[in-house]
Chain A
């Protein structure tokens, strides 16, 4: 036996839910209303005793105020648990290729989601961008050498560059590797996740 006012009660609730959810994107809104409609049907099918208006009202009460449900939906849409990202071929490829095949390394670096934008910029720019940097340094060193020979202002400057070169070249891969720590990868996945990081 159906409750005398089951239909208007349920239709009314669903209408209020749809109204409250008007601000949600289309997909999630329809899905929410459909899910709740299915929930009500299931709850009614589960009731063993005679269905009264009170039965329906209790089902709707347990569901919660539409505004509360939608507020929760809005929060959930923006955030949620994310699977921790495991470093894979792309990540290790970027680390290995960056010093040797800089253009390819940079492409891999930027296509990975394991690092924050800041990390990517740092790794792309310092130290001095693999091949291009190498050439640049070589040229600068050469120029500095010429200056030295021509009694320049900074004797030994070119040599300093050459000494620093091996250290500089491996700065980016080492830096990226450190930043790839498992705990970090999840944080780096999206800007939103970063905001959710506990302050403590």
Chain B
């Protein structure tokens, strides 16, 4: 399918912000994020989440903290920073506008 590459590129681009959105209210650890993203089909190759998380941390959009876990090894929790919150808000606005624009054009094309 010709749209395969496009869809995976779009998914990849949006993934960063989906991660930020998932930790908006409560810090989460990587596996928790993988569960949430996996259910929606946003993440197919689990390993690729880690470079993404490092990148977010290096950019100061998230901060991390190791916490003991009752049922396994210690977990690194990811928490949104003020910068991250700002980036998420900006993306939300952009995304709404983008989605509305594409939807509008697709609807219009359907009518004709």
Q: Which residues of A contact B (CB under 8 A)?
A: 28, 31-32, 35-36, 38-39, 41-43, 45-46, 62-66, 68-69, 72-73, 76-77, 80-84, 86, 186
Contacts and interface: CB of A to CB of B under 8 A. Distances in A.
Contacts of B87: 81-84
7 smallest A-B Cβ distances: which pairs?
Answer: A64-B45, A45-B72, A73-B51, A69-B47, A63-B47, A35-B50, A83-B83
22 contacts: A32-B50, A35-B53, A35-B54, A39-B47, A41-B73, A42-B30, A42-B73, A42-B75, A62-B45, A63-B45, A63-B46, A66-B47, A72-B52, A73-B48, A73-B50, A76-B52, A80-B16, A80-B55, A81-B17, A82-B87, A83-B61, A83-B83
Contact of B50 (A39, A42, A43, A186): A39
Contacts of B52: 72, 76, 80
Given A72-B48, A83-B83, 9 more contacts: A38-B30, A42-B75, A64-B46, A72-B52, A77-B55, A80-B52, A81-B59, A83-B61, A84-B86
A35 B87 CA distance: 25
Contacts of A186: 90
Interface residues on B, range: 20 to 34
B76 interface: yes
Contacts of A31: 50, 54
A32 B58 CA distance: 13
A84 to B, nearest CB: 5
Contacts of A45: 71-73
Given A45-B72, A45-B73, A84-B87, A62 B46 contact: yes
B19 to A, nearest CB: 10
Contacts of A43: 31
A41 B51 contact: no
B31 A42 contact: yes
A81 B95 CA distance: 13
B84 to A, nearest CB: 7
